[in-house]
Amino acid sequence: MGFYQIWHPAITKLTAMKTILTSLIVFLIAGNLSAQDNKLVLNGTVEYTKTINIHAITKQEMGPKPDALTLQMFDEYKKTKPQFINLTSTLVFDKGKTLFTPIPPTQRIYTLNNNPMGTQFNKVYTDHSKKAVTIAKQIYSDEVLIQDSVRKVTWRLTNERREIAGYTCRRANGLFMDSISVVAFYTDNIRVSGGPESFGGLPGMILCLVVPHENVRFDATKVTVNTADAAKVVPPSSKSKPITYKQLDALLQGMVKNWGATGIYEKKVYSL
């Protein structure tokens, strides 16, 4: 009895401390989980910069055996015009819907032979839950409206990670149109399967996209969360009659029938 009376206060105090520590651990874990949940984003805006290596694109367009005059023009072009063109765009997203909109450049863009790769000619709306896309596309002076299923990209995830615009992103290597390779970095903190132009299909938002063969890349420069107006995430309108990707291909076949190698290249570019 005397022993119990001596140690009882200490035992009571120890039990109380254990209870407090347990409560504190539970509180910290709950707070951490809540903070992680708050990082999951379903609504907002991504700002992208598109970098185009126009020198490399122009050289590719010239073909394997350009004539002397073409080479002379190209050499002069390289001496007087920048190698890279930088263009900007926004991607507004709300839950499973995205709207990609190019921002017109504030300065004149110089390309050789009015190369279409020196511009951004697609305004893209994607309903990812329905896997449907609507694209207002400018082809020189003509505007076409495409309504079709989203382009399929075969993705393979890797363990490489990179910090982009404040988000930890994971690398994925992709293949589309049977032969064009792409590299993407996406974040699963933004639970929208979107990205620049009509690219998507990953378990999160693409914040960096590189298309090596086309010598272009997109980099997210800023992500603003919970700011998108859902009423504005709607398909672009057009006076043109909607067509499919297959009909677009037939249209481009007709347009470039007599253009030679340059036309073939531009046909592939406009098919993206």
Q: Classify 113 in phi/psi space as left (phi over 0), alpha (psi -120 to 50) or beta.
A: left
Which pLDDT score, from 0 to 100, does residue 255 have? Answer: 73
pTM comes to: 0.79
> What angle separates helix 54-62 from helix 261-270, to the nearest 10 degrees?
130
Q: How confident is the model at residue 4 (pLDDT cuts 50, 70, 90)?
A: very low
**DSSP 8-state class, residue 190:** B
Task: List, for residues 11-66, the tens digit of each pLDDT value.
Answer: 445 454 555 444 444 444 434 333 334 468 889 999 999 999 988 888 887 888 88
Cβ atoms of 89 and 50 within 8 Å: the answer is yes
As a whole number, mean pLDDT of residues 97-125 equals: 82
What whole-number distance in Å separates Cα of residue 215 and Cα of residue 66?
Answer: 20
E strand spans, 153-231: 154-164, 167-176, 180-187, 205-211, 216-225
Compute CA distances 30 → 19, 25, 188, 246, 271, whole Å.
16, 8, 21, 52, 49
Q: Which region among 87-91, 108-112, 182-186 has the lowest average model confidence (pLDDT)?
A: 108-112
Domain boundaries in the chain? 1-39, 43-270
What whole-number distance in Å separates Cα of residue 264 and Cα of residue 211?
Answer: 18
Tokens of 82: 């920048």
Which pLDDT score, from 0 to 100, does residue 17 have? Answer: 52
Task: List, for residues 134-159, the tens digit of each pLDDT value.
Answer: 999 888 778 899 999 998 999 999 99
DSSP reduced 3-state for 172: strand
CATH no., domain 43-270: 2.50.20
Q: How many other C-beta atoms lie within 10 A of the C-beta of residue 57?
A: 22
Which pLDDT score, from 0 to 100, does residue 258 have? Answer: 57
Overall residue count recorded for the chain in this entry: 272
